[in-house]
């Protein structure tokens, strides 16, 4: 959650910060990261959501997040 806070507070684009803040809030309320990301489809693609969902379920979330970050660079 701290990482989401940091990203939401210093986004490259203000609207991205709002999306990250929404994701952070949903996760803080107990939602899964992939579900929270899926609620912001203009910012997270179905492929990203799917990769994160697979990482959550398969126990390799950090690796899934790194893969998504590498693709978006």
Give pTM, 2 decimals: 0.80
**How big is the CA angle at 40 (ends 27 and 72), to the nearest 5 degrees?**
95
Asked if 36 and 26 count as a contact pair (C-beta separation under 8 A), the reply is yes
Question: What is the chain's mean pLDDT, rounded?
Answer: 85
Of residues 54 and 11, the one with the higher pLDDT is 54
For the residues 65-73, what does the mean pLDDT come to? 78
Query: What is the pLDDT confidence band of residue 20, given thresholds at 50, 70 and 90?
Result: confident
Asked if 37 and 21 count as a contact pair (C-beta separation under 8 A), the reply is no
The closest of 40, 10, 43, 11 to 25, measured between CA atoms, is 40
* Whole-angstrom distance, CA of residue 21 vs CA of residue 58: 25
Asked if 56 and 32 count as a contact pair (C-beta separation under 8 A), the reply is yes
């Amino acid at each position: 959650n701290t990482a989401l806070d940091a990203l939401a507070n210093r986004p490259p684009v203000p609207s991205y910060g709002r999306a990250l803040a929404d994701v952070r809030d949903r996760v803080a309320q107990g939602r899964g990261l992939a579900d929270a990301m899926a609620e912001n489809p203009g910012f997270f693609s179905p492929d990203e959501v799917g990769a994160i969902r697979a990482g959550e379920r398969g126990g390799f979330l950090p690796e899934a997040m790194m893969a998504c970050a590498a693709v978006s660079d």
